[in-house]
Amino acid sequence: MSAEFNKNLSYDDFVVKAKKAINDNMLDQALDSLVSAYQLQQTIEVNHLLVTVLMAQNQYQEAQIYADECLDSYLDNQEDVQMYLSLILHNHYFLNAWELLTWLPENWQIAFTKSIEKAENSYRATQAQTIKTIARHFYHLSDGELADQQKRLMAANKLPRDEYVVGAKFILRDPFLSQMSRVSILDQLRRINVSETVMFMNLTETLVPVIPNQLQDITHDKIYQKVIDELNSYEKELGPDMIHGLSEQIKLLLMLAYPDLTLVVEDATSWVAGLVAETFGMPMPEESEKQMIWRQKLQKTLINILN
């Protein structure tokens, strides 16, 4: 009867049932109703109720999956921020917590900074060996193949901030590490607001000083934006699907040169024309030999990464 009855219930019916079950402390029933409601309509109200119930049942990993689907909705007030922060700190995603901090109003940040530091110190006290193991794999990132490097980078997100920064400073100078991994780490330092100078081996294998929190996301880079604007001018000729695919390819190519795209792009118009010509076997445009060689190097590097 229950399954047949539920088929005829609306979104609102399931929400009413869930709220009653929550009030009656019948969390399993509440969860079933909320999941059914969420399948009908992915609303913020039900998302927050789902996360609350899952956390109450100690299902923190599942709760984070739902919360991440509506992350912006957890930034509107301090109570919701605290709930989301408690969730990711319980799951030991310390770097995500530090990044979250940069999105908040300054007058909120002090209290939440203390929450993160307290969680990190507790983790250090109880999981010292785990931290040591993750840090060791992080320091020796270049020992593994690219797929293994990506796994180690994901694991390193669970290091406390200070331990991550110590490892990152060493790794950014490692000549044996893939450029994509180096760039990923530098961008992570930007996102967690690291304000001290680090030495970074760029695409030309030159060590350059960089202050991560003074960098910008690649999509805000003027050269990147010029390249994308130029690509969009080909939409009539190539169609929107091809433009979308090429824009994704361009982002990966130019990420390899981050944070200094001038290393590989001298002129956005000829750079894009060259990429389009190479992709579709069209006549090559006039462009500097240096720019053409760099673009072809980037493409070879990207092919090796994707293969």
At residue 147, the pLDDT reads 81
Which tokens go with 29?
Answer: 């029933």
At residue 307, the pLDDT reads 73
Is 193 a residue whose pLDDT tops 70?
A: yes
At residue 26, the pLDDT reads 96
- Topology annotation, domain 128-214: hypothetical protein mp506/mpn330, domain 2 (3.30.1790)
Average pLDDT over residues 11-22: 96
Average pLDDT over residues 235-264: 96
At residue 135, the pLDDT reads 96
How confident is residue 271, by pLDDT bands cut at 50, 70 and 90?
very high
In tens, the pLDDT along 135-154 reads: 999 999 999 787 888 899 99
What is the percent of the chain with per-residue pLDDT over 90, rounded to a whole number? 90
Which tokens go with 288?
Answer: 């500097």
At residue 44, the pLDDT reads 98
**C-alpha to C-alpha distance for 222 and 259, rounded to whole angstroms:** 11
At residue 1, the pLDDT reads 38
The CA-atom distances, in angstroms, between 33 and each of 45, 217, 241, 251 are 13, 40, 39, 42
Average pLDDT over residues 74-91: 97
Is 3 a residue whose pLDDT tops 70?
A: no
Give pTM, 2 decimals: 0.91
Average pLDDT over residues 60-87: 97
What is the percent of the chain with per-residue pLDDT over 70, rounded to a whole number? 98
CATH code reported for the domain at 2-118: 1.25.40.10
At residue 6, the pLDDT reads 64
At residue 304, the pLDDT reads 84
**Cα dihedral 257, 263, 265, 267 in deg (nearest 10):** 160
Q: What rounded mean pLDDT belongs to the chain?
A: 95
Is 294 a residue whose pLDDT tops 90?
A: yes
How confident is residue 306, by pLDDT bands cut at 50, 70 and 90?
confident
**C-alpha to C-alpha distance for 97 and 30, rounded to whole angstroms:** 29
Is 185 a residue whose pLDDT tops 50?
A: yes
Average pLDDT over residues 83-92: 98
Is 124 a residue whose pLDDT tops 50?
A: yes
Is 35 a residue whose pLDDT tops 90?
A: yes
Is 259 a residue whose pLDDT tops 70?
A: yes
**C-alpha to C-alpha distance for 284 and 146, rounded to whole angstroms:** 33
Q: How many residues does the chain have?
A: 307
Average pLDDT over residues 195-222: 97
At residue 140, the pLDDT reads 93
